[in-house]
Amino acid sequence: DVVMTQSPLSLPVTLGQPASISCRSSQSLVHSDGDTYLNWFHQRPGQSPRRLIYRVSKRSSGVPDRFSGSGSVTDFTLKISRLEAEDVGVYYCMQGTHRPPVFGGGTRVEI
Amino acid sequence: EVQVVESGGGLVQPGGSLRLTCVASGFSFSVFEINWVRQTPEKGLEWVAYINGGGNTIYYADSVKGRFTISRDNAKNSLYLQMNSLRVEDTAIYYCAPGGLKYFDYWGQGTPVTVSS
Closest-CA residue to B24 (of B104, B97, B102, B100): B97
Chain B residues with CB under 8 Å of A6 CB are none
Q: How far apart are CA A11 and CA B20, in angstroms?
A: 35
Beta bridge partners of A1: none
Q: How many CB atoms lie within 10 A of CB A16?
A: 9
Q: How far apart are CA A22 and CA B69, in angstroms?
A: 35
Mean pLDDT value of segment B13-35:
95
CA distance A10 to chain B (A): 15
CB contact under 8 A, A105 and B95: no
Chain mean pLDDT for chain B: 95
Q: Which of residues 25-84 of A touch B (CB under 8 A)?
A: 37, 39, 41, 47-51, 54, 60
Chain B residues with CB under 8 Å of A37 CB are 102-103
* pLDDT of res. A104: 97
* pLDDT of res. B101: 86
Mean pLDDT value of segment A72-83:
97
pLDDT (tens digit, 9 = 90+) per residue, B43-74? 999 999 999 999 999 999 999 999 999 999 99
CB contact under 8 A, B102 and A97: yes
List the single best residue of B45, B57, B94 to mutate versus A (max A Cβ within 10 A): B45
pLDDT band at B100 (very low <50, low <70, confident <90, very high): confident
CA nearest to A41 within chain B? B104
* pLDDT of res. B62: 97
Mean pLDDT value of segment B100-117:
94
pLDDT (tens digit, 9 = 90+) per residue, A27-68? 999 999 999 999 999 999 999 999 999 999 999 999 999 999
Following DSSP, what letter does each residue of B26-90 receive, concatenated?
SS-GGG--EEEEEEETTTEEEEEEEE-TTS--EEE-TTTTTTEEEEEEGGGTEEEEEE-S--GGG
Q: What percent of chain A has pLDDT over 90?
A: 99
- Is the pLDDT confidence value at B24 over 90? yes
User: Are A102 and A96 a contacting pair, CB within 8 Å?
Assistant: no
